[in-house]
Amino acid sequence: MDSIIVTGGTPLSGDIPIAGAKNACLALMPATLLSEEPLTLTNAPRLSDIATMSALLRSLGSEVSLLAGGKVIAMSSHQLTSTRADYEIVRKMRASNLVLGPLLAREHQATVSLPGGCAIGARPMDIHVSALEAMGAEIELKDGYLHAVARGGLKGARFAMKFPSVGATENALMAATLARGTTVMSNVAREPEIVDLAKCLRAMGARIEGEGTDTITIEGVDRLHGATHEVVADRIELGTYMLAPVIAGGEVECLGGRLDLVEAFAEKLHDAGVEIEQTNRGVKVRRANGRVHAVDVATAPYPGFPTDLQAQMMAMLCTAEGTSHLEETIFENRFMHAPELTRMGAKIEVHGGTASVTGVERLKGAPVMATDLRASVSLILAGLAAEGETRVNRVYHLDRGYEELEAKLGGAGAKIERIRD
């Protein structure tokens, strides 16, 4: 397995381009299943998860072509050949479950394996299932697969989600576009990726109102047509690279970044003493003189602090002045990076869903192991601040969510290289 070696102690300076959002693109790609006409996505990220979703869609009969070096995804689902999403593909990535809603809407049936992905808790499918059942689907779990049927097609319904799940909101939103009648979904997710999906679906002819709020109304239509859509900037990649100069020192401009996508995160950085500026090119970040200050963080659904930036934030707080407290409210088992950071000299105590981090003046380079996507990049960020060499093993997680990370950080002056085993 590949490893990444980071030699710390070098301040960063320069530009880091921000890619299209992985989480948005993985929801947009299954939208091709809703129409017989072509759907083209621009500003797509070049990641292994995109390749996995492409393989899944092809297994269903969709045509998928990656153009312009992978930054353009051209898809056509004019003739589907299967409604079964097999375990061998689905197990690699949790977002694979997003074919369930579109298949039910168009084909009135679907057989979808329970998904895999990062080991950060159970993340059950019950909210997805209850939303689709509210629209008339009959769903049975058997032999590790969800067997779903919508006899006569899905019907508009009114329902509230017990938790604002992003994936369940996306699945239900796509399903409702072809349901008969009007669907009103409340307590839904408000993330920018939801807004981006609604924008794409509307370009395909869907009738949607309320995205970005806790209630979305969808008036079902008979068919959707083709469209071309630009994927929104990746707010998690943006937040990650905003932290790089804070941890390593220096100044970086994140090209294409938008502060409105990361307001709660940026507010915490400001409280810690970080200088942040929205420019006409992106977001400029600079650490003021000296160490940053400790801050308390609690993850929450959007517009709160993103769970996908918690591990990276912990890496920054490892060298902050004072003691910080991080509360993880979204996923269990998402402090698995803490023991690895401790190997680098961090002072971290974990009690259930809360971690206390007492900053040290300097971390020490060490061999560490990535346990999931965001944990892997948090260890690389920590390596930027560490004395000596940090070797991050099992970085295959990293390639699921960050394109050309070594080139992007290296272009800003970081001493980083990949070792291929």
- The backbone torsions φ and ψ at residue 108, rounded to the nearest 5 degrees and listed phi first, read 65, 15
Nearest to 189 by CA among 170, 217, 174: 170
- The predicted pLDDT at position 371 comes to 85
Range in 18-32, 120-134, 265-279, 401-415 with the lowest mean pLDDT: 120-134
Q: Is the pLDDT of residue 323 over 50?
A: yes
pTM of the model: 0.92
Identify each DSSP E strand in 161-319 by its residue range.
Answer: 182-186, 207-209, 215-219, 227-230, 250-255, 274-278, 282-287, 297-298
- The predicted pLDDT at position 289 comes to 78
Q: Is the pLDDT of residue 221 over 70?
A: yes
Query: What tens digit of pLDDT does each residue of 80-125 get?
Result: 999 999 999 998 888 899 999 999 999 999 999 987 544 434 456 8
Nearest to 98 by CA among 164, 23, 163, 43: 23
Q: Is the pLDDT of residue 288 over 80?
A: no
| Residue 230 confidence class, pLDDT cut points 50, 70, 90 | very high
Mean pLDDT value across the chain: 95
Instruction: Report the alpha-carbon distance of residue 348 to residue 324 in Å, rounded.
Output: 10
Q: Is the pLDDT of residue 398 over 70?
A: yes
Tell me: cis bond preceding 30? Omega within 30 of 0 counts: no
- The predicted pLDDT at position 1 comes to 80
Q: What average pLDDT score do residues 125-134 get?
A: 94
Q: Which residues are marked as active site? A: 118
User: Alpha carbon 150 to chain centroid distance?
Assistant: 30
Query: Above pLDDT 90, what percent of the chain?
Result: 88
- The predicted pLDDT at position 122 comes to 47
The residues with which 264 forms a beta bridge, in sequence order, are: none
Instruction: Report the alpha-carbon distance of residue 138 to residue 129 in Å, rounded.
Output: 9
Q: What average pLDDT score do residues 169-190 get?
A: 98
CB 61 within 8 A of CB 16: no
Q: What average pLDDT score do residues 198-210 get?
A: 98
Q: What average pLDDT score do residues 363-385 get?
A: 94
- The predicted pLDDT at position 116 comes to 56
Identify each DSSP E strand in 97-166 by its residue range.
Answer: 109-113, 138-142, 145-149, 158-160
- The predicted pLDDT at position 123 comes to 52
Q: What average pLDDT score do residues 374-379 get?
A: 92
Is residue 8 packed enough to be buried (19+ CB in 10 Å), middle (13-18) or exposed (0-12)? buried
| Residue 41 confidence class, pLDDT cut points 50, 70, 90 | very high
Query: What tens digit of pLDDT does each residue of 248-286 get?
Result: 999 999 999 999 999 999 999 999 999 999 999 999 999
Return the half-sphere exposure (C-beta side, CA atoms, 13 A cut-off) of residue 150: 29
Q: What average pLDDT score do residues 8-30 get?
A: 97
